[in-house]
Amino acid sequence: MGENGFMKWVQNASTPFWNCEGSYFSMILESLVGANSYQDFLILLAPYHIVSKSLELPDDIMNKNSWTYQPITIINQVGCEFAINNEFFEQIEYYFHIRCEIEYPKDIVRELDKLDVEKCCFIINVDEFFFKDNKTYYSKKHNKHSLLIQKINKMQKTVLLYDSESAKSYEATYDDVAKMFHHSIYRHRACKKIHYSDYTDALNIRKDFQTYLCTILRSEWMTEFFHTMIGDLSLDKVNFYALQGYRYTILFKILPYIKMRTILSRTLCHPNKIEIIEQIEGMWECFHNIIYIQLLRRQLILEEIDQSIKQIIKGESNLRNYN
């Protein structure tokens, strides 16, 4: 996208959302010049509620991806789990006029050359065994992932890739992309073409979902979630595997949900109640940051985690007791 276009890529989306593909939609909405409602798409979570679920820790954690250890799910009233699927794409198109077209190209290079970068971008499924900039997986082990193709230089045959996990952009050649895509051991080699040139602000989305405000403020799930978390982190041999899984859970699922509560409450609740809800959001952000720092330092401090949990529980108690 040229500098004079209406897309100026924000390199790290404010709100990672559900998984890598959901986060790319968050990033697209945040990057559209003049977009006033990139956070409003979080409101698509309003018909859902969080439920804790039991997961068994794998025996060989050294060779496992912590992403798969996320002990919650988000379901609607009939038990259907939220997902980045056709229903999600339909809602994105309905409210934001951003259209997703799923393709299974036999020649990804040809598709790159055909792409009109002034109007759309690509999200592609890759095998990170062939992703040169990923030091964890490149030439070591296979891992299914999705990458966002932000820009294409058709003269130099290069692209700019964005990776949601590292929150960084990388330059790659057409050949690099072809290897990641076509040499993948995974059968689902899909390419999502995101058309954003007709974007409009979702003016009615808050009104359409305001009836869910009472249910999204419920927090019963937190008791089981925190109990399971402390239990997992008390097992020395799985500390950091589990801790990374909980970080992913909070960053990609819980925080977007908590932010959605804040956004929706601002149009409907008393200012004093909004203040409590905003404080709880801040507590969750601090909780995530504490976990992230402990992971970087490879130093687990349960006392810090326990203190953050107690603050969140107290905040939720204040919210329930508000009249």
Give the type of residue at 219: S
310: its two tokens: 């107690």
Q: Per-residue pLDDT tens, the chain, 323 aa: give them.
A: 334 356 778 766 667 899 999 999 998 988 886 666 767 889 999 999 999 988 888 877 767 789 999 999 999 999 999 999 999 999 999 999 999 999 999 999 999 999 988 899 999 999 999 999 998 899 999 999 999 999 999 999 999 999 998 889 999 999 999 999 999 999 889 999 999 999 988 888 988 999 998 899 999 999 999 999 999 998 766 679 999 999 999 999 999 999 999 999 998 889 999 999 999 999 999 999 999 999 999 999 999 999 999 999 999 999 999 86
pLDDT of residue 31: 87
pLDDT of residue 2: 39
303: its two tokens: 């006392």
User: What are the residue ranges spanned by the domains of the chain?
Assistant: 20-35+99-195, 40-84+201-320
Instruction: Identify which of 94, 82, 107 has the alpha carbon closest to the alpha carbon of residue 21.
Output: 82
User: 45 in helix, strand or coil?
Assistant: helix
pLDDT of residue 118: 84
pLDDT of residue 167: 85
pLDDT of residue 226: 97
Q: Taking a C-beta distance cutoff of 8 angstroms, is the pair 260, 216 a contact?
A: yes
Cβ atoms < 10 Å from Cβ of 265: 20
User: Model's pTM, two decimal places?
Assistant: 0.92
CATH number of 20-35+99-195: 3.90.70.10
3-state helix, strand, coil in the chain (%, to 5): 50, 15, 35
From residue 119, give the alpha-carbon distance in Å to each of 115, 189, 206.
Answer: 9, 23, 27
Handedness of CA 52, 54, 59, 64 (dihedral sign): negative
Q: What is the DSSP string of 234-258?
A: T-GGGHHHHHHHHHHHIIIIIHHHH
Mention every residue, 6+ apart, whose C-beta is less than 8 A from residue 236.
none
Give the type of residue at 199: Y
Mention every residue, 6+ apart, whose C-beta is less than 8 A from residue 313.
222, 226
Burial class (CB in 10 A: 0-12, 13-18, 19+), 244: middle
